[in-house]
Structure 1
Amino acid sequence: MEALGVVMNGVTGRMGYRQHLVRSILAINEEGGVALSGGRRVPLRPVLVGRDAAKLKGIAGRHSIADWTTDLDSALADDRAAIYFDAQTTNARVAAVTLAIDAGKHVYTEKPTAETVDEAVALARAARRAGVKNGVVQDKLFLPGLLKLARLIEGGFFGRILSVRGEFGYWVFEGDWQPAQRPSWNYRAEDGGGIVLDMFPHWTYVLESLFGQVEAVTARAVTHVGERVDEQGRAYKVTADDAAYAIFELAGGIVAQINSSWATRVHRDELVEFQVDGTHGSAVAGLRRCRVQHRGMTPMPVWNPDLPATEPFRDQWQEVPDNADFGNGFKVQWERFVRHVVEDAPFPHDFTAGARGVQIAELGLRSSSEGVRVEVPELAS
Structure 2
Amino acid sequence: MKRFTVDGSDALENYLGRICQEVLRSIQALFRPSRLEALVLGGGYGRGEGGVLHTEAGDRPYNDLEFYVFLRGNRLWNDFRYRADLSDLGERLSVAAGLHVEFKIDSLRRLEQSQVSMFSYDLVSGHRRLFGSQTLFQNCAHHLAAAHLPLAEATRLLFNRCSGLLLVRRLLRKATARHSGRRGWCGKPPGETMLTKAQADFVGRNLAKAQLALGDALLAAFGEYHWSCPQRHRRLQSLSAVDSLPGLERVLQHHAAGVEFKLHPRRIFKSAEAFGREHAELCALAARLWLWLESRRLEHPFASPQEYGLSTVEKYPGTSVWRNCLLNARAFGPASLLGALAARYPRERLLNALALLLWTGDGSEVPGLIQHLQRQLQTKASDWAGLVRAYERAWLRYG
TM-score, length of structure 2 as denominator length: 0.26
Judging by fraction of residues, say which structure has more strand.
Answer: 1
Judging by fraction of residues, say which structure has more helix.
Answer: 2
TM-score, length of structure 1 as denominator length: 0.27
